[in-house]
Amino acid sequence: MRTLLRSRRLGRLLLAASGLLALPQGAYAMPTFLAADPEDVRLAQEAWTAGLACTGRTPVTAPVVRIERKLPEWAVYRFAGLANWSDKVEAKIRLAERTRPAVIAHEVAHAWVHVGPSGLVEGRTALLTACMQQQNPESFAGLLEARSELEIMPDLRVWSAVGDDPTVIGQAYLGAFRLFRAMGLVVPPERLWSEEVTRWDTVERLLAEAGPPGERVLAALAGGAETQRAALIDPDLDGLSILYEQLSGTDPVTWDSDGDGWWDGAPTVHPEGSVPLRRGQIPVCLPMVPASGGLFAVELGGQLGGLDIPAQLVSNGPAGMLVTWLTAWTGHPGGVYARAKGDTLVANEQCAMRRHLTMRSTQRLADGSVGAIADAVEASVVTILAATKVADPFLVVEVDGEATFLTLTRNGSHVLVPVAVPGRATTDEARDSLARAIASLSIVGTLLPHERAPAAAALVRTVWPGAPIAPALGAPAYEVAPWTRAVGKCARGWSGLLDGTCETPDATGRGTTPQ
């Protein structure tokens, strides 16, 4: 019956438990919602309709529900909303003066779920709220799940929200939601939303009847607080608990299990023209940009628990502009996507993204050349990784300026290529040569500045014997030869040279010095 202000921020969730049920024939009586703000009435009505679709049944409640934007003093700073769903003359929903639309959905959801112990009631209500959000993503886009590692979450079977510490309440709310979200994968919706689910022994029976997957959830529930915490934490910060990912087949410690760039649990239908931001400050391209360039707005959306996402980010830059994950979002579960807003959007031909790199040009090159060079660089990176067995790099390639390359950035090698170089890469051979040079620079990016160019040139010639060296490297033969000899002497080849196991040539190329 209560909504915690800090912890009720769920994303747009795609839940097995929220599959639509076929409603029986006949009218469902919606109560009359009364509020000073017509918008509150509209949201409550939408939430009610969504609740009918999610549960397949209508709750028994009073014919009038009054919505007030005023919490009692004891609830201020603790809750965002309270609901008293009476079946008498009038029911009441009380909200904080400023709260998200999703909180109204949560309090309306309590019409279906308000009988039973706190953990059971709040977990099922949060799950129903998530289904309502799925039904009405534009109206209930507020994010309810907050950052939490559940380190002091109590045993959900015996927890009571009455009089508990706010931090404990927040973790218990979050843990209860995660428990029932996992339960929604194994228990049919018609059983999950049945009126009979008001006791933990009923929950345990439903899980036991669900076979091995249900028994996995039951074991987590029955193991007490410590076992529940271990099953319900979210180590990879994708918004999904370990238990949920084990049941759904994704990797509990990998934010993006299938490698498509979108976090686990992201909507299966992606907003048009959107691109997911990579965790950390790794730049990504906007797929679509305004035809005129210049000032334009970037819309951010998705699932980022516990933080308000700005509706728009106004930027000024070239068509190939890059967008990055903000440091303020570090440690919060979920994911964010970005897309340009505007009346006339065109494909971004000045930027390309691949598994290991983002490549953009501040000037327009020949049609398709940015993508073609990006393809060649990606192929070269994959080949080098197979030959050297170094850790997967992520490369940011910018075509701009006069310099050949820059130093390492925080999340990967950052290579700056003069515009004139890719401008001359008009043949397959020239483009592939440039790609090998760029890829090599990314792999040897941990070396000292004076070492990079000759090392990259030697790496190109080692992996691709006889390959021409692109002008971007500019390393004379007498500096390249010592690197070729050094890799031949190292038992682990390039891996040994790059991780310091073997000695590398010194700056003069006449000797060796420990890495």
Phi, psi of 32 (to 5 degrees): -85, 120
Could you tell me which of 100, 204, 205, 190 has the C-alpha nearest to residue 145? 100
Could you tell me which of 275, 370, 361, 390 has the C-alpha nearest to residue 325? 275
Position 469 scores a pLDDT of 63
Position 341 scores a pLDDT of 82
Name the pairing type of β-strands 294-304 and 334-341.
antiparallel
Contact 276, 358 (CB under 8 A): no
Report whether pLDDT(4) > 70.
no
Position 330 scores a pLDDT of 80
Position 217 scores a pLDDT of 97
SS3 481: helix
> Is the Cα dihedral 183, 184, 188, 194 positive or negative?
positive
pLDDT band at 229, cuts 50/70/90? very high
Contact 509, 482 (CB under 8 A): yes
Structure tokens at 466: 């006889």
SS3 296: strand
Position 473 scores a pLDDT of 66
Position 370 scores a pLDDT of 85
Lowest mean per-residue pLDDT among 34-43, 202-211, 290-299, 369-378? 290-299
Structure tokens at 48: 């009610």
Report whether pLDDT(296) > 80.
no
Contact 142, 208 (CB under 8 A): no
Angstrom distance (rounded) from CA 131 to CA 16: 10
State percent of the chain over pLDDT 90.
33
- The string of pLDDT tens digits covering residues 7-63 is 322 322 323 333 334 334 333 589 999 999 999 999 999 999 999 999 999 998 889
Q: What interhelical angle do 101-109 and 38-55 show, nearest 10?
A: 50
Q: Between 323 and 53, whose confidence is greater? A: 53
Lowest mean per-residue pLDDT among 47-56, 88-97, 161-170? 161-170
pLDDT band at 139, cuts 50/70/90? confident
Lowest mean per-residue pLDDT among 11-20, 57-66, 164-173, 469-478? 11-20
Lowest mean per-residue pLDDT among 8-17, 109-118, 338-347, 361-370? 8-17
- Average pLDDT, stretch 456-481? 76
Phi, psi of 485 (to 5 degrees): -70, -40
Dihedral of the alpha carbons of 180, 181, 187, 191, in degrees to the nearest 10: 60
- Average pLDDT, stretch 230-241? 94
Going from the C-alpha of 475 to that of each of 77, 101, 330, 472, 479, the distances in angstroms are 64, 61, 40, 9, 7
pLDDT band at 428, cuts 50/70/90? confident
Residues in the chain: 515
Q: Between 237 and 392, whose confidence is greater? A: 237
Contact 216, 311 (CB under 8 A): no
Position 14 scores a pLDDT of 29
Angstrom distance (rounded) from CA 505 to CA 480: 10
In this structure, the number of other CB atoms found within 10 A of the CB of residue 148 comes to: 23
Position 42 scores a pLDDT of 95
Position 1 scores a pLDDT of 42
Position 411 scores a pLDDT of 47
Angstrom distance (rounded) from CA 443 to CA 345: 36
Lowest mean per-residue pLDDT among 72-76, 92-96, 140-144? 140-144
Q: What is the mean pLDDT of the chain?
A: 80
- Name the β-bridge partners of 412: 409
Lowest mean per-residue pLDDT among 76-80, 93-97, 499-503? 76-80
Could you list the beta-strand ranges (E) of 161-293: 275-276, 284-285, 288-290
Lowest mean per-residue pLDDT among 32-41, 58-67, 230-239, 348-357? 348-357
Going from the C-alpha of 343 to that of each of 50, 197, 290, 313, 319, the distances in angstroms are 32, 50, 8, 17, 15
